[in-house]
Chain A
Amino acid sequence: MCVTCGCETPAQHGHEPGHAHDHDHDHDHDHDHDHEGAVPLTRGFGVLRPAPTRTVSVEQDLLAKNDRYAAANRERFARDGVLALNLVSSPGSGKTTLLVRTLEVLRGRRPVAVVEGDQQTRLDADRIAATGAPVVQLNTGKGCHLDAHQVGHALAELAAPAGGVLFIENVGNLVCPAAFDLGEAHKVVFLSVTEGDDKPLKYPDMFRAADLCLVTKSDLLPYVPFDAARAIANARCVNPALECLTLSVQSGEGFEAWIRWLEREIEARVPPVVARAAGGGRGIGA
């Protein structure tokens, strides 16, 4: 059993008291019912006939377990006054680069922490650690997304950035992470101008799940056939309420708007007690 959350993986499930596993297949008589077939047979009055199966209503959501962990994470963020953001995009959209720059800007202004999700390596965590921000790297191995359970474990290794931001950089993947709630306040989807402005229509789930879309690498716009206005229009086709910002870490264009968005969302989550402890509340060091 895991000490952090009391979880048990299926392999760790013990046999429940009173639950017999010893259904014995050795009979003291012969009968040749088929163990391979889908329909078991019983013998009645010398005729083999199908045994009745019984139907059991289950009605359980496939994501119910993840959602329970996500709810626990969300409760924890609310209690600590932490803005948790789930950063999602295809690989190479500039999530880590934007994150590094953002951490530099927030340094001394807001407490921060980072959970990095990648299939393999600590490369991103090393980049984050170089900024001085506390970071936990999660490697998903063959997994294509972070789930709320993994994030819960990562939280156990991080001091809560009360009155600040926890950035969760998801695995680069524009499909699967859309379905998995981590307990975040918002999913922030990145779309770089080198990807194509039709991506929101081709991968609508992610843009539907997000609250903010960052169109990144805008300094490259003169060199690529990417229409930022069309990209945003496409994103709003699948999610009319989506906020959109266009920015570049290299040129700095639009970056202030992103920081203002962060400050607004942080302020919305700081409980009064944290605000007082931090020295009066609004606009700390800003």
Chain B
Amino acid sequence: MHEMSLMESVREIVDEAARVNGAVRVTMVRLQIGALASVEPQALRFAFDVVMKGGPAETAVLEIDRVAGTAWCWDCSAAVALGAGEVACPACQGHRLQVTGGTEMRVHEIDLAPDQEMATCA
């Protein structure tokens, strides 16, 4: 459910980035969502359509890049990959893991349409 309030943060960030860059329309929003971030991409997609209404990104395409989960296994003394929902080291099955990556939730970049003046006839 908190995907809705996270998407409201996306809208604030995107609206501000569009404004600062003098754009009236955003055509694409690219998020980076870690595999271990406590968020469901499907729910984010649903929230995107609802939350972006009436703003510069109303017709934008949402792209979500997944970032792999990584952890340090204290028993293996090695960096290991950790998938969503996994709590054990894939090598030793131990649980002494320190998550080191894959928890990010970030607006990575946006595509801006040319403004109205640029889009008129050549």
Q: How many residues of B contact A (CB 8 A)?
A: 51
Q: Point out the residues of chain B lying under 8 angstroms from A147, CB to CB.
A: 5
Could you say which residues of chain B place their CB within 8 Å of the CB of A179? 2, 6, 37-39
Task: Pick from A31, A37, A58 the residue with the most CB of B within 10 Å.
Answer: A58
B42 at the interface (CB under 8 A from A): no
In the complex, the chain A residue whose C-beta lies closest to that of B97 is: A240
Interface status of B105 (Cβ within 8 A of chain A): yes
Q: How far is the CB of A252 from chain B (nearest CB, A)?
A: 32
> Contact mask A39-54 → B, CB, 8 Å, 1/0?
1111111000001111
Q: Which residue of B lies closest to A177 (CB)?
A: B2
Asked if A54 meets B107 with Cβ closer than 8 Å, knowing A10-B12, A178-B38, the reply is no
Give chain A residues whose Cβ lies under 8 Å from the Cβ of B96.
240
Tell whether, in the assembled complex, residue A58 and residue B107 are in contact, meaning their CB atoms are under 8 Å apart: yes
- Across the interface, do B59 and A59 meet the contact criterion of CB distance under 8 Å? no
Which of A29, A179, A237: most chain B CB closer than 10 A?
A179
Interface string of A51-69 (1 = CB under 8 A from B): 1111111111111111000
Interface residues of A, CB < 8 Å — how many?
Answer: 54
Q: How far is the CB of B104 from chain A (nearest CB, A)?
A: 7
User: Which A residues touch B85, using CB under 8 A?
Assistant: 204
Cα A178 to Cα B38 in complex, Å, equals 8
| A51 and B113 contact, CB distance less than 8 A | yes
Query: How far apart are the CA atoms of A62 and B5 in the complex, in Å?
Result: 10
Q: Is the CB of B6 within 8 A of A58?
A: no
B21 x A56 contact (CB < 8 A)? yes
- Inter-chain CA distance A55–B26, complex, in Å, is 10
- Residue B52, interface by CB 8 Å: no
CA distance A175 to B28 in the complex (A): 29
B38 CB contacts on chain A under 8 angstroms: 175-176, 178-179, 205
| Structural contact, A38 and B61, CB atoms closer than 8 A | yes
Residues of chain B at the chain A interface (Cβ within 8 Å): 1-2, 5-6, 8-15, 17, 19, 21, 24-25, 27-28, 31, 37-39, 59-61, 85, 87-88, 95-97, 99, 104-116, 118-122
CB neighbours (8 Å) of A201 from chain B are: 87
Return chain B residues, CB-CB under 8 Å to A230.
Answer: none
CB <8 Å contact, B2 and A175:
yes
| Cα–Cα distance between A23 and B120 once the two chains are bound (Å) | 13
Q: Can you list, as one digit per residue, whether each of A118-148 has a CB less than 8 Å from chain B (1) or not (0)?
A: 0000000000000000000000000111010
- Whether the Cβ atoms of B109 and A33 lie closer than 8 Å is no
Check A153 for interface membership: any CB of B closer than 8 A: no
Cα A238 to Cα B71 in complex, Å, equals 12
13 examples of A-B residue contacts, CB within 8 angstroms: A10-B8, A27-B120, A33-B119, A36-B59, A37-B59, A42-B120, A43-B121, A54-B111, A54-B114, A57-B108, A58-B17, A58-B109, A179-B38
A180 within 8 A of B: yes
The listed residue (A31, A63, A237) touching B121 by CB distance below 8 A is A31
Measured CB to CB, the closest approach of chain A to B118, in angstroms, equals 7
B3 CB to closest chain A CB (Å) equals: 9
